[in-house]
Every structure is written in C-alpha cells, then in structure tokens.
Structure 1
Amino acid sequence: MDIEYTVTENIARNRSGQIISIDYSFDEILVIETPSSSSSSGITRQNKEKRNRSYDVKVTREQYQSIIGQKRDSLSFDAFVDVLRPFIMGYYTDDELEQAFYRLDRDRSGTIHLDELNCFLPILNDTINNNNLQDYVRKVDENFDGTLNYDEFRTLVLRGIGRDIICNHI
C-alpha cells in the first residue's frame, strides 16, 4: 500500500503583512496492490486499486475569532497558523516544529496534554473528542504517559497523524 499526497497552501495577507486567511487543499491517493493469480495458466498479475480523497481547510482570521470567542484559553490566530502549518504539511522547515510545540505547550511543562491539543484541533475538526485524541496520541506515545514530548510530537507530525486528525481519518 502506497500513499501519495499533495498539499497546496495559499496564504492571504493584508497590506501590513498580517495573515488574514490560510487555505490548504490536500489530495490523497491510496494505491493498494493485490496479487492475483490464475490457477489454470500459472500467471501472476498485480491488481492496483486507487482511492482518492480530497480535503480543503480554509480559515480566515474573522472566522477564527468568532469560533474562539466561545472557547476559553484558545490560541491567537497567528499562533494557530504556526501550529496548523506543520500539522497539515506533514513536514516543517527550520524552527517551525519547535514553534508549533511551544505554542501548544501552554503550561510550559515540556509536554503537550490533551487539553492543550483541544485548544487547537476542534476548530478544524468539530467531531474530534478526547477518546479519539487519546487513540491518536497512543500511536506515538513511547513512554505511555498520555502526553506528547517534543520527539513524540515530531513523530506525530512526520507520520501525518496530525493531518489525519484534521482530515477526520478516525
């Protein structure tokens, strides 16, 4: 099974350079190869099945402000964008991942707790709940403490698990 994906990022800024909207288009192609053989002829063939999925995530500063107006302890829009980028892209440059980790680690404990993930993820996926988040965290939680240290967070991003959470692959 091979997964191919393409992520397109569009950022709109106002005249002063402030981000006013961010838009991600994510296309995923899952290729599944299944061997098939004909018993009478002895010929082996590969059957390929392709499944396509597309996701769009667009958030404006204005939309974000109205959503977080109802939630306490939310990230600022700029902090939200700093975290969103590596989650969606599945990779990062320079200090982007460190900054995303720092933004989510609100209590400065050196780990990200489920409550801290909840200040970010429900804005993009309103069907996610603590049980689902725990299942995702368990996939990378090497020390089984129920939180994400920096290395575990890095693994979550690089393996595309953050993107799966956002795109609703439950």
Structure 2
Amino acid sequence: MDLEYTVIETVHQNNAGQVIKIDYEFDETVAIEASTSSSLSSIARQNKEKRNRTYDVTITREQYQGMTQQLSSALSFDAFISVLRPFITGYYKDDELERAFSALDRDRSGSINVRELNSFLPILNETANGEALNAYVRKVDANFDGNLSYDEFRSLVLRGIGRDIICNHL
C-alpha cells in the first residue's frame, strides 16, 4: 500500500500580522497493489486500486475562541496554530516541532500526557476522546509510560498519526 498526500496551507493575517484564519486542504491517495494470476495461463496481472479522500480544515481566531470557552485548558489560538501545522502536514521545519511540543507540555514535565493532548485535539475532532488518544499514544510509546516524550511525539507527527487523528481515522 502506497500513501501519497498533499497539503495546502493558507494563512490569513490582519494588518498587524496576527493570524486570523488558517485553511488546510488535504488530499490523500492510497494505492493498493494486488497481484492476480489466472490458472488457465501464466499471465500475472498487477492491479492497482486508488482511493482518494479530501479533507478541508478552516478555523478562524474568532471561531476558535468561541469553541474553547467550554474548555478550561484550551491552548491560545497562536499556540494551537503552532501545534496544528506539524500535526496536519506530518513534517516540520526549523524549531516548529519543539514549539509544538512545548505548547502541549502544559505542566512542563518534559512529556505530553493524554490530558494535555486533549487540550488541542477536540477542537478539530470531537470524537478524539481519551480512550482513542491512548490507543494512538500506545503506537509510539516506546517506554510504555502512557506519555509522549519529545522523540515519541516526533514519531507521532512523522508517522502521520497526528494527521490520522485530525482527519478522523479513529
């Protein structure tokens, strides 16, 4: 199975340079190869099936602030945006990942627990509950402590697990 994806990010800023809206267009193509052969002949065929999915995420500062009024531990909009970019793209540049990790590590313990992860994800995916998040954390939790160290968080992002959570692949 081959997975290909493209992400287009559009950032809207006000005159002061403050981000007021961010759009992500995410196209995912999965190619599945299946070999078949006929018993009547020695011809082997390669079949390739492609499945496409498109996701659009748009969030404004105003929308975000309205949604987070019900969450006591929600990130600021700017911190949310710094976490969102590597999560949804599956990659990062410069110190983006360190900033994202720091924004999520609210108690400054050096790791991210599910409660801290929950301060970010329900805004984008209301089905991302503690049980589902624990299942995703277990996929990269090398030391089995239920928390994400920086390296485990990096693995979660690079393996596209964050994107899977956001795109509702729960």
Report the alpha carbon displacement of residue 38 of structure 1 after superposing the two structures with TM. Answer: 1.0
Q: Aligned pair 1:7/2:7, yes or no? A: yes
Residue deviations 1:126-163 (CA, integer Å, cap 9, x gap): 11111100000000000000000000000000000000
Aligned partner of 2:2: which letter?
D
1:130 corresponds to = 130
1:71-82 to 2 correspondences below 5 Å: 71-82=71-82
SS of the equivalent of 2:49 reads: strand
Which runs of at least 4 in structure 1 moved beyond 6 Å after TM superposition? none
Q: Which amino acid aligns with 1:36?
A: T
Gapped runs of 5+ residues in structure 1? none
Shift of 1:39: 1.0
- Taking every aligned residue pair, what percent have the same amino acid on both sides? 68
Distance 2:145 2:85 in 1: 26
* 1:39-67 deviations in Å (ceiling 9; x for gaps): 11111010110000110111100000000
User: For 1:94-151, what per-residue CA distance to the aligned partner results, in whole angstroms no more than 9, with x for missing partners?
Assistant: 0000000000000000000000000000000011111100000000000000000000
Find the aligned partners of 2:17 and 2:43 in 1 and give their Cα distance.
62
Post-superposition offset of 1:31? 0.1
1:24 partner SS: strand
Asked if 1:43 is matched to 2:31, the reply is no
Query: 2: CA distance between counterparts of 1:45 and 1:108?
Result: 55
Q: Report the number of matched residues.
A: 170
| Distance of 2:118 and 2:128 partners within structure 1 | 9
Output the TM-score relative to the length of structure 2: 0.99
Q: Where does 1:9-158 land on structure 2 (aligned, <5 Å)?
A: 9-158=9-158
Post-superposition shift, 1:32? 0.2
- RMSD of aligned residue pairs (Cα, Å): 0.5
Q: Which runs of 5+ in 2 are unaligned?
A: none
